[in-house]
């Protein structure tokens, strides 16, 4: 698999699968995971002729583990450099959870840039955006965002990481992330172990610092977008409350909401066929 070194010396791991000349789809993963968490969507779209790309965010997975730069603006800049390196154009972005935040910031900033079309012609970097269980418009609770997560809860998560990250990183997938704590839930030990393995690959510093990104207000970023945006959220999400995602479209010029009844936070893992087909249908729209 390829690696790319950023201007600040940090090396990112990324996957570039599928049809090398196909329409590009770029994925950004949630916390504290890596690009492996989108493998079923990448395999599905790759088999449908798309070029599918995903990176391990700095500090996560197989990428370098720098002390600094674990913030939304740096992540968006990292994606910009990777887009330049791969000469991507007219890409559809797909972000889950925290990945929906960095892709929203990247899409907003990319309006000032251009990519490389065929024969060297200039073209836009971003064509469409998909936000799945994303932390936009803001995960942190506020007067305008009463459904958000209180700061006290985020501080509790920081404390649990400092006390025993290993145990915390079992408690999250065993409970709210996949919705396995709900009555009559079908529990997958494999998904729990996979989440734990990916989470423990991330550096402690990067995983800890990422919690601060959940306080980011993305309303201005969303309002600046003039591309089609598909917002997908489960109404039983215990990580990013449905009341947060449900209001995203009101900040968009061209947004629509797809609700998964009873859907947990981990829709790409739990609702694989539904998410795959949602993505394919959105990609096929002109």
Given the residues 78, 102, 237, 278, the one annotated as active site: 237
Sheet holding 126-132, edge to edge: 3-5, 11-18, 51-55, 24-28, 91-96, 126-132, 229-234, 255-260
- pLDDT reading at 116 higher than 70: no
- pLDDT reading at 117 higher than 60: no
In a domain, 170, yes or no: no
Q: Who contacts 76 (Cβ-Cβ below 8 Å, separation ≥6)?
A: 102, 105, 106, 109
221 is catalytic: no
In a domain, 33, yes or no: yes
Structure tokens at 276: 């795959």
In a domain, 155, yes or no: no
Task: Output the average pLDDT for the chain.
Answer: 95
Mean pLDDT across the stretch 35-46? 98
In a domain, 166, yes or no: no
**Could you read off the pLDDT of 1-39 as tens digits, one per residue?**
699 999 999 999 999 999 999 999 999 999 999 999 999
In a domain, 192, yes or no: no
In a domain, 196, yes or no: no
> Lowest-confidence range among 94-98, 113-117, 187-191, 200-204?
113-117
In this prediction, residue 286 carries a pLDDT of 82
Q: Who contacts 107 (Cβ-Cβ below 8 Å, separation ≥6)?
A: 93, 126, 129, 221, 225, 227
Q: Which helix (H) or strand (E) holds 43?
A: helix 39-46
Range of the domain at 224: 3-147+208-284
Q: Tell how far CA 65 is from the center of its chain.
A: 19
Owner of token pair 């066929």? 273
CATH of the domain at 81: 3.40.50.1820
Given the residues 28, 63, 77, 97, the one annotated as active site: 97
97 is catalytic: yes
In a domain, 28, yes or no: yes
**Domain tally, the chain:** 1
Does residue 272 contact residue 245 with C-beta atoms inside 8 Å?
no
- pLDDT reading at 279 higher than 90: yes
Given the residues 29, 48, 233, 265, the one annotated as active site: 265
Mean pLDDT across the stretch 213-240? 98
In a domain, 200, yes or no: no
Indicate the pLDDT class of residue 185, thresholds 50, 70 and 90: very high
124 is catalytic: no
- pLDDT reading at 263 higher than 90: yes
Burial 58-83 (b: 16+ CB within 10 A, else e): bbbbbbbbbeebbbbebbbbbbbbbb
Owner of token pair 């998909």? 130
């Amino acid at each position: 698999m390829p690696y790319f070194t950023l201007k600040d010396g940090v090396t990112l791991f990324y996957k570039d699968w599928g049809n090398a000349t196909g329409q590009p789809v770029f994925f950004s993963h949630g916390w504290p995971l890596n690009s492996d968490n989108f493998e079923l969507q990448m395999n599905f779209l790759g088999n449908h002729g798309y070029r599918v790309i995903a990176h391990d965010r700095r500090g996560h997975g197989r990428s370098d583990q720098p002390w600094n730069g674990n913030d939304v603006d740096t992540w968006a800049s990292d994606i910009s450099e990777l887009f330049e390196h791969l000469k991507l154009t007219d890409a559809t972005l797909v972000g889950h959870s925290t990945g929906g935040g960095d892709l929203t910031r990247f899409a907003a900033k990319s309006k000032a840039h251009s990519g490389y079309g065929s024969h060297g012609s200039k073209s836009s970097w971003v064509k469409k955006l998909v936000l799945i269980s994303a932390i936009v418009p803001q995960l942190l609770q506020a007067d305008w965002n009463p459904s958000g997560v209180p700061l006290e809860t985020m501080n509790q998560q920081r404390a649990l990481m400092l006390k025993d990250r290993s145990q915390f990183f079992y408690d999250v997938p065993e409970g709210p992330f996949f919705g396995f704590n709900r009555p009559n839930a079908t529990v997958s030990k494999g998904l729990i172990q996979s989440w734990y393995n990916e989470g423990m690959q991330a550096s402690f510093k990067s995983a800890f610092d990422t919690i601060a990104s959940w306080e980011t207000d993305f309303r201005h970023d969303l309002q600046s977008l003039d591309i089609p945006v598909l917002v997908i959220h489960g109404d039983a999400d215990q990580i990013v409350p449905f009341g947060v995602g449900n209001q995203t479209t009101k900040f968009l010029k061209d947004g629509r909401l797809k609700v998964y009844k009873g859907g947990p936070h981990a829709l790409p893992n739990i609702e694989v066929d539904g998410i795959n087909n949602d993505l394919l249908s959105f990609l096929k729209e002109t």
